[in-house]
Structures are given as structure tokens and as C-alpha cells.
Amino acid sequence: MIWQKPSGRFGKINIRSEPHMYHFEYVPESQTKPVKKELLEIIYAVHDLLRDKFTFRFDFIGSSARNMITQDVRSNIGFDFDVNIEVNDPEEDYSAEELRHLIQNALNRVAPQYGYSCAEDSTRVLTIKKKNVFLSLIEHSCDFAIVHNYIDEDGIHRQQYIRYNKQARRYVWETQPSGYRQLIEKADWLRHHGYWKEVKSLYLEKKNYNTDPSKRSRALYAETVNEICMRHGLNK
């Protein structure tokens, strides 16, 4: 397959001839909407379980928030959602590990009632999956990241997330890379200026040619938004 990849502000053309590694396509909203409704019920139930300890707010982010959910139509892995959970813990009564385990345990109590697996704990996220054991496939899944938004001493909006350091076997708060900064504002700017078709095209391209199995949808979406912004002169 031959495709054109604009590079830089003036759109230098490169040619790639290797075949797709994957076959991602966009999933229609009619298919994702009932799943999102079910996930909302799970999140509200988790919130109720944890209310005596802390409350939290949440956001569907990235492709999940922009009707850009994808699925590899030739694989046995369905589409996925991305959710950020921001805990209200101003006194820091709970450590990163305690927060992660409390939310994981609450998910484990609720998610199976809706046919999902217990939450898998990876480096950045907790993941629940709805599996079809008869067809040996994952229908869909949801990644939950626990985050903290704040403004630093220079007045810059930043975000931390709980990361599991596998080597040290401990959970830590880690600052998101700069590429995650102001993604909502950048995406709104691209929409307003008529560049959203480029975003959807490049995001799908990145999904299909991604060679890093640890790079999830939220990371590819952030890369896409930043690259299109730079292409059109928005470098902040």
C-alpha cells in the first residue's frame, strides 16, 4: 500500500510501501454508545463504593471523547475506551499505591456484574475487558488512569498519573510528558480551523502502523494532535 505522509509545516511528501501491520477502522457511534452507557453505570457504582473514603471526578478522554474509537476488524480484540479518574484527596490521606488498589478492588466488585473481567494492573492503567469465551475474543475494554491535575509555580497546567514501577515494585505519581499538555484546547483549535479530517486520518494511520505494543490509544491520540498542530503552526 502506498500512502503520503506530510512532514513539517509545508507538507514534504514521503512514500511508504510496506503493508499495514493492523487493520483498524472507526467504530460507528451506534455501536459504542450502549457500551459507554454501561461503563458509566460501572463508574458510578465504583464511586458509590468508595464514597466513604473519597470522591472522584472522571472524564472520557482522547479518542473516547471525540467519537474516534477504532477497532482492528481482522483481530479478536475489540475497541477500547480511555477514562481518567481524578480523586479528591487534597490532604493526601492516601498513597499512590492505596489509591490504585482501592479503585482496582472496587472495579473488581462491580465490573464482573456487567460481564467484565477483574481489573488488570499495568504500568499506567487499570483495564477491564468484556470477553467472549465461546468465540475467544475481547468484545471491548476500558483503560482507567488515576490522575491529578494541578498548576505549577510557573502557572502552567500539568497532570500527574499513578505509574507502577515494575522494577522497584512500587506505585508513584509521575508527571505526564509535555505532549499531553492542553490536548483539549489543541483539539478544539484544530476543529475550529477545519483540520479535523487530518487528525482522523493520521490517528488511524498511527494505529495501523504502531510497532510499540505498550503504546496505547491515548498516547497515539496525543501524538496525532500535537503533530497536526505543529504542521499548521500551533507549536505551544
Please indicate, yes or no, whether the overall pTM of this predicted structure exceeds 0.75.
yes
pLDDT tens for each residue of 30-88: 999 999 999 999 999 999 999 999 999 999 998 999 999 999 999 999 999 999 999 99
Give the whole-number percent of the chain exceeding pLDDT 70. 91
Cα(150)–Cα(159) distance, rounded to whole angstroms? 6
- Which of 188, 180, 198 is closest to 124 using CA atoms? 180
Amino acid at 111: A
Residue 176 has pLDDT above 60, yes or no: yes
Which position has the grid cell 480511555? 82
Domains present along the chain, CATH in parentheses: 23-179 (3.30.460)
